[in-house]
Structure 1
Amino acid sequence: MLRAGCQRLSLLLHSLYEFWTSAAGGTPLEWVAVITGFACVWLAARESLWNFPTAIVSCGLYIFVYYGQQLYADCLLQGFFIAMGLYGWYEWQYGGARHSALVVSRTRPWEWLVVVVGVVLFTSGFGYYLKHYTNDSLPYWDSFTTAGSLAAQYLLTRKRLENWLLWVLVDLVYVPILWHKHLYPSSGLYAVYLVLAVYGYVEWRRAARAAIATTSPAA
């Protein structure tokens, strides 16, 4: 009797799992990556240092998710994010003047030059490689989102306000790509990221103005 009841319960749980994955899309691994990914962006928008360890967990999971969908540039991107998460974790605490905490600041002109040139070169070069030497399904779009994310993440670790503008652009491209690859939870997540990027820009701009006011001679 007990064994039969356990079998029926197991069958019920399996049926619920199949219904959930077919109706909502995604796997349990992807859903955990989605939830932690949302948390890390929300924490970053709130200038919370805890965005970095949360991002490391999410990126580690997305390595497996993207590999399964033949998005190899995005797989490599997650590894970079993990490294940048460790770097940013340190920088936010000790990267300011005299090893103080960083404050929100504007992107320097030379940084914009490096970002634009770097994104163009990476997209064209790595996109060519993926197209001719791998079975990447969207080589140039894959490379562009990777390059844009690299640039945005670097600016985020330095607390540059405009990192959120780059994230807006990247998220606008990611949403249809992930939907096309049937990664529906992740596509929805990036749509939420888009909203959070706008929110983060507004919040960080307010913080940047406050930082300028407190360090000005008049203040």
Structure 2
Amino acid sequence: MNGKYTMWILMAGMLLVAYLTSSTWLEIAATTTGLLSVWLTARQNMWCWPVSLVNVGLFFFTYFEAKLYADMTLQVLFFLLSIQGWIVWATRRGGAKVRPTSRITPKLTALLAVILIVVTFAWGHVLERFTDASIPYADAFIATLSIVAQLLLSSKILENWYVWIAVDVLSIGMFLYKELYVVAFLYLIFLGIATAGLISWRKDYRLAAEAAGPVNGSRPGAVV
């Protein structure tokens, strides 16, 4: 099916869920721009970044109303990382529309794992002690995992999709618990798009790596 038609079908489905659950206009606007942003990202379209800037602004206020303060704070960082991603994707393109996809290294994987654990517990403790956060540690874990995913995405690293898939699955459960049904439905769609994005990016990376060939026995496109 044509990608544009698929996008319109997903939009229609999300608006139907919004109508049936009496969602606010803020929630609808946030989920709609979020869907468009992720869809453009999976297609490696540079327009994903300006749309993302609008989306994180809308989600900032959505999460504030839901008392999901970790996710609310996360939107500020996402705004900055979206600007960084825009710059990264637009540079060192070598004549391509966007920068080529790279792979993560074991060193970076270990570093991000440590950061995930430390930040989750520290952030969760702060939320539990100093705010009326509904589910502080779960909120903090998903938020921190989202930061890791966004860092990898902004750096055009393939493994960002594996992390986003984990974020989407966890988020679906959290938003159902918070009765944010449209946002939960959005993350279900995100899960499908992230899976498609992983398949597409991995295929493009494999083709580019085969065309470039190994350089001094190293893995092409690895990032420290």
- TM-score band w.r.t. shorter chain: 0.7 to 0.9
SS at the partner of 1:87? helix
SS at the partner of 2:158? coil
Determine whether 1:129 maps to 2:129: no
Deviating above 3 A after TM superposition, structure 1's stretches of 4 or more consecutive aligned residues are none
| Runs of at least 5 residues in structure 2 that lack an aligned partner in the other structure | 1-16, 216-224
State whether residues 120 and 141 of structure 2, in contact with CA within 8 Å, keep that contact through their aligned partners in structure 1: yes
State whether residues 88 and 157 of structure 1, in contact with CA within 8 Å, keep that contact through their aligned partners in structure 2: yes
State the shift of 1:188 in Å. 0.3
Structure 1 partner of 2:35 = 38
Residue type at the aligned position of 2:121? S
State whether residues 66 and 72 of structure 1, in contact with CA within 8 Å, keep that contact through their aligned partners in structure 2: yes
Query: Pick from 35, 57, 60: which aligns with 1:60?
Result: 57
State the shift of 1:214 in Å. 2.2
Q: Highest CA radius of gyration, 1 or 2?
A: 1
Q: State TM-score, norm by structure 1.
A: 0.85
State the shift of 1:102 in Å. 1.8
State whether residues 175 and 190 of structure 1, in contact with CA within 8 Å, keep that contact through their aligned partners in structure 2: yes
SS at the partner of 1:159? coil
Query: Pick from 138, 142, 158: which aligns with 1:141?
Result: 138
State whether residues 70 and 143 of structure 2, in contact with CA within 8 Å, keep that contact through their aligned partners in structure 1: yes
Alpha-carbon spacing, 1:22–1:41, altered in 2? closer, same or farther (3 Å): closer
State whether residues 25 and 182 of structure 1, in contact with CA within 8 Å, keep that contact through their aligned partners in structure 2: no
Post-superposition Cα deviations, 1:132-186, rounded to whole Å, max 9, x if no partner, equal: 1110001001000111000000000111111000011111110011111111100
Query: Pick from 212, 215, 218: which aligns with 2:212?
Result: 215
State whether residues 102 and 158 of structure 1, in contact with CA within 8 Å, keep that contact through their aligned partners in structure 2: no
Q: State TM-score, norm by structure 2.
A: 0.84
Q: How far apart are the structure 2 equivalents of 1:24 and 1:117?
A: 39
SS at the partner of 1:48? coil
State whether residues 46 and 98 of structure 2, in contact with CA within 8 Å, keep that contact through their aligned partners in structure 1: no
Residue type at the aligned position of 1:171? D
Structure 2 partner of 1:13 = none
Structure 2 partner of 1:168 = 165
Alpha-carbon spacing, 1:150–1:21, altered in 2? closer, same or farther (3 Å): closer
Q: How far apart are the structure 2 equivalents of 1:180 and 1:95?
A: 43
Counterparts in 2 of 1:62-141, with a 5 A limit?
62-95=59-92, 101-141=98-138
Structure 1 partner of 2:178 = 181
Residue type at the aligned position of 1:125? A
SS at the partner of 1:172? helix
Alpha-carbon spacing, 1:83–1:46, altered in 2? closer, same or farther (3 Å): same
RMSD (Å), alpha carbons: 2.0
